[in-house]
């Protein structure tokens, strides 16, 4: 559903719509008297797929127009459209970072990878394999 662009509402167009409806509010069916505030209202809202043509426009008392409130219907239609297109709404707050859970497994003892051997500074560390130092006998 695509939103229709709104044309400008000239005084001639307002008068044409007013006279087409005999000067009656299309929401409450009461007559709009001279000097009373009124709006040209889209019978089917533009955001809900209505056209911006005189056939879709009608006069309405300003209070009736405000009370009609298409806002919730329009918001619902936009959410449905976004959902059908696979667009997800942003959450209001960022998700908190969870602390890592403590491990239930016992930790392994520290194992040396290199062990000192001899007094020679060039070769003072030797790799440990199988838990034994190189050259060590048991």
Q: Are residues 26 and 74 in the same domain?
A: yes
- Domain assignment present for residue 37? The answer is yes
Domain tally for the chain? 2
The three-state secondary structure class of 72 is: helix
- Domain assignment present for residue 115? The answer is yes
Task: Sort strands 57-61 and 125-127 into parallel, antiparallel or unpaired.
Answer: unpaired
- Domain assignment present for residue 93? The answer is no
- Mean pLDDT taken over the chain: 78
Enumerate helices (H) and strands (E) in the chain, giving the number of each: 3, 4
- Domain assignment present for residue 124? The answer is yes
Percent of the chain beyond pLDDT 90? 24
Domain that holds residue 115: 110-138
Of 36, 34, 38, residue with least CA distance to 64: 38
Quick: pLDDT tens for 25-47: 998 999 999 899 999 988 888 87
CA-based end-to-end distance of the chain: 83
More confident residue, 134 or 51: 51
């Amino acid at each position: 559903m695509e939103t229709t662009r709104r044309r400008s509402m000239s005084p001639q167009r307002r008068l044409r719509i007013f006279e087409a409806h005999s000067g009656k509010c299309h929401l409450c069916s009461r007559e709009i008297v001279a000097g009373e505030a009124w709006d040209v209202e889209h019978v089917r809202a533009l955001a809900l797929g209505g056209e911006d043509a005189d056939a879709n426009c009608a006069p309405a008392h300003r209070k009736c127009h405000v009370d009609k409130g298409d806002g919730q219907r329009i918001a619902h239609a936009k959410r449905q459209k976004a959902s059908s297109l696979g667009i997800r709404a942003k959450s209001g707050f960022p998700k908190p970072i969870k602390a890592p859970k403590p491990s239930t497994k016992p930790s392994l003892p520290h194992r040396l990878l290199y062990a000192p051997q001899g007094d020679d500074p060039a070769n003072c560390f030797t790799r440990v394999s199988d838990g034994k130092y190189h050259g060590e006998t048991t």
